[in-house]
Amino acid sequence: MLAVLPIHRLFRLVGAANYHSKNFAMPKIGTHDGKFHCDEVFAIFLLKSLPEYSNYEIVRSRDKDVLSSCSIVVDIGGEYNHALMKYDHHQRDFSHTMNTLRVMNFDTKLSSAGLIYAHFGKSVISASLELPHDDPVIDILFKKVYETFVESIDAIDNGIAQFDGEPRYYLGGTLSSRVSMLNPAWNENAVSVNERQFMMAVKLVGEEFNELLNYLYKSWLPARSHVVNAITHRFDIDKSGQIFCLGGGGVPWKDHFFLIQRELDIKNDDIVYAIFEDNANAQWRVQAIPVSERQPFKHRLSLPEAWRGLRDEELTKVADIPGCTFVHPSGFIGGNKSMQGVVEMARKSLSLAGKYKN
């Protein structure tokens, strides 16, 4: 169970405008005012999630005197110095990545989000999950959270494209874009709503982080042993070893599969299909495995062209396999009424392509 305080209890914000009108004995976290971005929003959420910083005030200003009074400064100030608790990434000579900091093997330039995560991420995970700092689970989750959540924040803030070339379609709804949309509109009174919107952004990012961490810890991580077992016993499913069975559906298997494949030095054509039960429909599925985790829509061997888009009796007749229910038009997945049926679909697909290892 995540030991996370409600977002509204974590934060108390002081704007630069009323900075001199309050008693500021309490330590502060400083960041810039004006338009906010996902990186400093997430950085502040991480810091305020830790018990040692939970009572710190948040000060948003570009005034050097105001920022100099802050114990921690993120995303402004032109300096990165962990010893001095300064975490900016905008200076010309800044080029740090997780790799250059010797934290993890990622080469995306860090934003303030990545800097704070590099230094405090494990402590946040430990506190949130109430796990000892030396629990090996923390290292696994630390890497996975960066890969699936933080790295994209770093890349987007630094203007690093996800891929080379022109995208085929617009990918909306990223966390960074949703945070950006919380900024006051050009025709709003920005002064009156900016601080409120900033706190809404912190709440949004914090909730998404907690949801991801909860999923990874409770669902994704326990699935690893299930996938290891399925790969280890794949020759019990078919003598080729090219088909492995996950049993009940819903297991988040792909991330674990690619990692285990590398660990065991298994070649792509050694395991081509995954089969699993569709519990909701009392049927079975056969799914083509992607070439790699970075190419989720390119498969090692799609189901045969002649089967694609067909259903039920027509598919059963064309495939000459009893109990077929469907094959997706792209060929990435198909169904059958029985486990033996999907095994036969996978086996026949491999044979037709001349790739079955008998």
Whether the CB-CB separation of 244 and 237 falls below 8 Å is answered with yes
Q: What is the pLDDT of residues 105-144, one digit of tens each?
A: 999 999 999 999 999 999 999 999 999 999 999 999 999 9
The two structure tokens encoding residue 91: 């200076």
Beta-carbon-side half-sphere exposure of residue 354 (alpha carbons within 13 Å): 0
What is the pLDDT at residue 336?
98
pLDDT-wise least confident of 2-11, 144-153, 161-170: 2-11
Q: In what order do the strands lie in the sheet with 13-15?
A: 13-15, 57-60, 28-31, 72-74, 86-87, 80-81
The neighbour count for residue 173, using CB atoms within 10 Å, is 7
Nearest CA-CA partner of 121 in 103, 106, 109, 135: 103
Residue-by-residue DSSP string for 227-266: HHHHHHTGGGT-TTS-EEEEEES----HHHHHHHHHHTT-
Determine the average pLDDT of the residues in 273-298.
94
Show me where the domains of the chain are located: 7-220, 223-352
Please provide residue 74's backbone torsions phi and psi, each rounded to the nearest 5 degrees: -125, 140
What is the pLDDT at residue 13?
61
Determine the average pLDDT of the residues in 147-176.
90
Degrees, nearest 5: CA angle 250-147-41: 110
What is the pLDDT at residue 14?
56
What is the pLDDT at residue 189?
73
pLDDT-wise least confident of 19-33, 53-67, 197-211, 311-325: 19-33
